[in-house]
Amino acid sequence: MSDDDFKRVESQPCPMSTCAAPAGSPCRTGKGKVAIQYHTARFRLMPQLAEVLSVPTPAVRRPGSVWTELPRPASTGTTPAGHVRLGYARASTARQSLDAQLDSLAEAGVARVFSEKISTRATRRPELEAAVRLAGEIRSSGVAVTLVVHEHKRLGRGIELAMLAEELKAGDVGLEFLTGELKGSHDSSGIVFTVLAAMSGMEREYIRDRTLEGHASARKRGKTIGGLGVTNDSILSMALHLRDQEMSLRDIAKRLVVTTGAKKGRHPSPATVMRMLRGHDQLTTNPGHSELLVPLP
């Protein structure tokens, strides 16, 4: 941590509703005093300070004194000089191709593309971090920046996507998706983007609930859902969750355990998992045609 970290923190307004200090001013307490240290929600959004545990308010800001708004940075509100578009592409496994994403980004006119083959389950994605870091550096020089991605799922879902959007917002970096349900340019601080990001995280739960309702309805009509004694709604739910984490069929099978019947305590085969998920997808696509399901052995 350097002596001028507070300048980086104050380059953006505090997102805490209880503080909401504008750019250029220190954070404040609920009693209207200058806070001893900057709110975590503020400095955590700065890529350069992502690993810092706390950023104290410097003595020049007089911590504990009555809070007053300080002059805002001269660059605040100025028109950006130019516009740079950076691209990001990701595949989950080494076997998957990035060609379609790279072609799409090239057609969108991005200046540089960061790409990697890594699962969304990874705690760190080096190329994404590098893209966000470069975007912040370019923006701090006075040039407008947009991070362009083929589809929002390449970045993440739900809370993960919302957290990234907050980081981009802190750096005043735009976000654009070329396809999918969030297609288009987004103000990551806007309520519409927040709602859409949350909905993308709820997508899997909605599909799961609709599928289980369809299974129950099919059983009432005497239809067979999955392999008797091998799969059930609980196993299906877990398999859907693991697939949503972009795991392979083999890895999903290793995480599942048969709970009843002669195979109790054993793992289903990858082929069984594939047929179970295929049956789920067919039911989801054609909820009124349960006969499309393939019974499991």
Task: Determine the 3-state secondary structure of 26 from DSSP.
Answer: coil
Residue 206 gets the label, from left (phi > 0), alpha (psi -120 to 50) or beta, of: alpha
CB 178 within 8 A of CB 153: no
Q: Give the side-chain half-sphere CA count within 13 A for 25.
A: 21
Q: Which amino acid is at 128?
A: L
Out of 11, 25, 92, 290, the active site residue is: 92
Phi, psi dihedrals of residue 37, rounded to the nearest 5°: -140, 160
CB 147 within 8 A of CB 187: no
Task: Determine the 3-state secondary structure of 255 from DSSP.
Answer: helix
CB 137 within 8 A of CB 131: no
Phi, psi dihedrals of residue 104, rounded to the nearest 5°: -65, -40
Dihedral sign (CA 116, 121, 126, 131): positive
Which residues have a Cβ under 8 Å from the Cβ of 113 and sit 6 or more positions away? 86, 87, 88, 89, 102, 105, 106
Q: Is 92 a catalytic residue?
A: yes
CB atoms within 10 A of CB 62: 14
Alpha carbon distance 182, 148 (integer Å): 12
Alpha carbon distance 141, 161 (integer Å): 26
Across the chain, the runs of DSSP E, i.e. the strands, are 83-91, 112-117, 144-149, 174-177, 184-186
Active site residues: 92
